[in-house]
Amino acid sequence: MKIVITGSEGLLGKEISKYLAKTNKILKLDLTLGHDLTDETFVQKWFRQNKADALVNCFALNDHVEKNQKRGTLFDVTLESFSKFMDVNLVALFSVCREYARNNKNGSIVNFSASTGIVSARPDLYDGGHKHVGYSVSKAGVINMTKFLSTHLAPEIRVNCVAPGGVEFDQDTKFIKKYANLTPLKRMMKKTELNGLVEYLVGSKSSYVTGATFVIDGGWTTW
């Protein structure tokens, strides 16, 4: 299969690209590679020139802060920063999905939401600060967009969504322990734990699956 992976150089995108490349041809799109997915003209041209069997959308504007930085609250959020999350995580995502569908007669799209697109981020997890509301709202929108696209692009193109919980990478020990204690499985997710699901969703074994959101969060959203 030929698979397009957006956000291919990010934490999850890089891992998924590496895993799927064992048996598939991967076409990478990432801002660090010079690909601006908020540029509609670029997106239209690129997808006209590159056909693929599947599209995996890992790209997103995240709200990570450095270890020595303190998060603000929702009262510190500027409308400009809120709009930026919408522009990248929803508007650009729609553009990418649309141009993939326009240029491929059949295929599969996998969008990435987040557990905070399903339930509110917990303020007590961030020592008095708040996770950016724009991130959570945009990720909720990804779930609804997936449902909309799945009905309008069927039966030729399937569209599904993955909503991961917190992924352990380089957070401080205090945060990892606090997050783990709030999760039924008592740990954060490993970056490798989405590989099998994405492989399933882009392949023929999921041929009767569309419009679904798969929550992979260690039980976080079940409380």
pLDDT in tens, 135-167: 999 999 999 999 999 999 999 999 999 999 999
pLDDT the model gives residue 131: 87
Say which residues have a Cβ less than 8 Å from residue 186's Cβ, sequence separation at least 6: 180, 218
The amino acid at 140: A
Average pLDDT over residues 171-191: 95
Residue 152 CA: distances (Å) to CA of 19, 138, 200, 210 = 30, 21, 22, 11
pLDDT tens figures, 56-86 = 999 999 986 665 667 888 899 999 999 999 9
pLDDT the model gives residue 84: 97
For every residue of 86-134, which 3-state class applies, written as one string? HHHHHHHHHHHHHHHHHHCCCEEEEEECCHHHCCCCCHHHHCCCCCCHH
Domain made up of 2-222: CATH architecture: 3-Layer(aba) Sandwich (3.40)
> Average pLDDT of the chain?
95
pLDDT the model gives residue 130: 84
Residue 122 CA: distances (Å) to CA of 57, 90, 129, 216 = 26, 23, 10, 18
pLDDT the model gives residue 223: 85
DSSP state of 168: P
Of 95, 112, 138, which is closest to residue 201 (Cα–Cα)?
112
DSSP 175-221: HHHHHHHTSTTSSPBPGGGGHHHHHHHHSGGGTT--S-EEEESTTGG
pLDDT the model gives residue 63: 83
pLDDT the model gives residue 138: 98
Handedness of CA 163, 168, 171, 173 (dihedral sign): positive
Of 209, 206, 4, 204, which is closest to residue 103 (Cα–Cα)?
4
Of 182, 142, 183, 134, which is closest to residue 161 (Cα–Cα)?
142
